Structure 1
Amino acid sequence: MQVCGIFGRVLGILWFCGILCGYQLSGDVDLSHLSTYKQLLQLTGSQETAVLPRVRTTRVPTSRKTAVKTNTGRLKTATIYDLPNEIVLKIFGYLSIGELLSVAQVCHLWHQLSSDNLLWKPLLQACVPSQTVSQQLGDLKSSNLKSSFMQRCIELRNKRVLRLLKKKNPYTGVIHCKDVENAFKFAGISWQIVMTDKSGNEHCLQNQDISYHLMSVSVRWFSLQMIAVSNVKKISLYSCNPLFHDSKTGKVVSNGPYHRSLLYSMDQKLSLALDKLKPVGSDENLKVFALEDGIIIGVWKEGGEIAFIAIASGLPGLVKKCIMGTASKMYQPPKEKISACLPESTYGLYGYSCTIQLRTMKQEIWDQQFNNVECPNSNIRNGIAQFHLMKETDRQILQKELAFPWKTDAFKSKIKDVCCLDVLLTDNEGQVVWNCSSAVSVKKEGSLKFTFDMDFDYCREQSRCIEYSDQKGQIFIQIDKDEDKTYITHIALSVLMEMLPTQGNDISSSGV
Structure 2
Amino acid sequence: FIWLRIYSTVFSPKRSNWKVNSVEETTVSVSGLSVEDKEAGYWKKEYIAKQITSVKTALAQVLQPVSPYTGLPVKTKEALRISGLGWTIVLREKSGKEYIMQHVDLSLNDTSVTVVWYGKNWPCLATLTTLDLCGVTPVFMDWHKPPAKNGPRWHSLIAKYDLSHLMESTMIGCDRLVQIFCLHPGLLVGLWKKEEELAFIMANLHFHHLVERSTLGSASVPYELPLHSPFLDDSPEYGLHGYQLHVDMHGGGVFYLCGTFRNLFTKKGCIEDGYVKLVVINFKNNREHLPLIGKVGLAWRTNIFDGFIKSCSIVDITLLDEHRKPFWCLSSPVCMRSAACPSDGPNFLGQTYYVDYMDTEGRVHAELVWIEETEEYFIVSLVLYLSVAKINHWFGQN
TM-score (norm 1): 0.68
Q: Map residues 73-472 of structure 1 onto 2, 5 A cutoff.
A: 116=1, 119-128=2-11, 143=38, 144-176=42-74, 179-246=75-142, 249=144, 251-252=146-147, 255-266=150-161, 268=162, 270-275=163-168, 277-345=169-237, 347-391=238-282, 392-393=285-286, 394-445=288-339, 450-453=343-346, 458-460=348-350, 462-472=351-361
Whose helix proportion is higher, 1 or 2?
Answer: 1
Structure 1 range deviating more: 473-482 or 378-387:
378-387
Tell me which stretches of 4 or more aligned residues in structure 1 moved more than 6 Å.
Answer: 129-142
Find the residue that maps to 1:156 and give its secondary structure: helix
1:103 corresponds to: none
The change in CA–CA distance for 1:388 and 1:246 in structure 2 (over 3 A counts) is closer
| 1:127–1:374 distance in 2 versus 1, CA, 3 Å | same
Q: Secondary structure at the match of 1:293?
A: coil
| More contact order relative to length (CA 8 Å, sep ≥ 6) | 2
How has the CA–CA distance of structure 1 residues 138 and 407 changed in structure 2, closer, same or farther, with 3 Å as cutoff? same
Distance 1:442 1:504, change over 3 A: farther
CA contact (8 A) 1:280 1:289 kept: yes
Cα deviation per residue 1:142-177 (whole Å; 9 max; x = unaligned)? Answer: 73433323322221122112221112223111123x
* Contact kept in structure 1, 2:257 and 2:292, CA below 8 Å: yes
Q: In the aligned structure 1, how far is the partner of 2:396 from the partner of 2:227? A: 17
CA distance in 1, matches of 2:345, 2:69: 31
Per-residue deviation at 1:443? 0.8
Secondary structure at 2:281's aligned position in 1?
coil
Task: Provide the C-alpha distance between the structure 2 equivalents of 1:445 and 1:383, rounded to a whole number of angstroms.
Answer: 25
Distance 1:292 1:368 in 2: 24
Paired positions, count: 376
Question: 1:140 touches 1:148 (CA, 8 Å); kept in 2?
Answer: no
Deviation at 1:201, TM superposition (A): 1.7
Query: 1:181 deviation in Å?
Result: 2.2
The answer for the alignment partner of 2:378 in structure 1 is 487
Separation of aligned partners in 1, 2:211 and 2:254: 22
1:493 match: secondary structure: strand
Alpha-carbon distance in 2 for matches of 1:442, 1:491? 13
Does the Cα contact within 8 Å between 2:247 and 2:317 map onto a contact in 1? Answer: yes
Structure 2 distance, partners of 1:137, 1:403, is: 63
- The 1:390/1:138 distance shift into structure 2, 3 A limit, reads farther
CA RMSD of aligned residues (A): 2.6
The one-letter amino acid of 1:387's match is L
CA distance change for structure 1 residues 129 and 353 in 2, over 3 Å: closer, same or farther? Answer: farther
Instruction: Confirm or deny: 8 A CA contact 1:389 1:493 kept in the other structure.
Output: yes
> Which has the larger Rg?
1
CA contact (8 A) 1:342 1:502 kept: no
Q: Which residue of 2 aligns with 1:14?
A: none
The structure-2 alpha-carbon separation of the partners of 1:253 and 1:225, relative to structure 1 and needing over 3 Å to count, comes to closer
* Shift of residue 130, structure 1, vs aligned partner: 6.3
* Long gaps (5+) in structure 2: 16-25
SS of corresponding position for 1:377: coil
Q: CA deviation at 1:405?
A: 0.7
8 Å CA contact 2:173, 2:179 repeated in 1: yes
Q: CA deviation at 1:301?
A: 1.1
Distance 2:189 2:224 in 1: 26
